[in-house]
């Protein structure tokens, strides 16, 4: 990450949203931040952090821009095919009983798939 002030910005985002930016690839995050800062009319992370701290609507905008807001039945068909053809047969060889946990999601379509 080559944006000056990123460590402070990262902590601000974590405090405001609960999102840990360390979970994102640096180059991807840098591109996204440059895009959303340009849209917001600010030129650096310190100014954008101040904007987020004073404008709740901007925090929502940031969260929506950063996170995936799509939920649909069989959203990634190639992944389901790999699960069906490769992963599940291998797991079932080891143990005929599977226990599956699914993390939270938008409307539940993906885990139900």
Let me know if residue 94 belongs to a domain. Answer: yes
Global pTM?
Answer: 0.61
Let me know if residue 71 belongs to a domain. Answer: no
- Indicate whether 111 pLDDT > 70: no
Residue-number span of the structural domain to which 49 is assigned: 6-66
Nearest 10 degrees: CA dihedral of 84, 87, 89, 91?
-140
In this structure, are 10 and 61 located in the same domain?
yes
Tell me the average pLDDT of the chain.
86
In this structure, are 14 and 61 located in the same domain?
yes
Number of domains in the chain: 2
In this structure, are 92 and 57 located in the same domain?
no
In this structure, are 18 and 54 located in the same domain?
yes
């Amino acid at each position: 990450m080559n944006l000056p002030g990123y460590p402070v910005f990262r902590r601000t985002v974590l405090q405001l949203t609960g999102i840990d930016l360390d979970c994102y690839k640096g180059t991807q995050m840098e591109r996204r931040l440059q895009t959303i800062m340009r849209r917001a009319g600010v030129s650096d992370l310190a100014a954008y952090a101040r904007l987020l701290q004073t404008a709740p609507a901007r925090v929502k905008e940031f969260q929506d821009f950063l996170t995936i807001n799509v939920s649909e039945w069989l959203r990634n068909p190639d992944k389901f095919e790999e699960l069906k053809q490769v992963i599940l047969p291998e797991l079932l060889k080891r143990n005929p009983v599977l226990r599956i946990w699914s993390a939270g999601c938008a409307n539940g379509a993906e885990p139900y798939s």
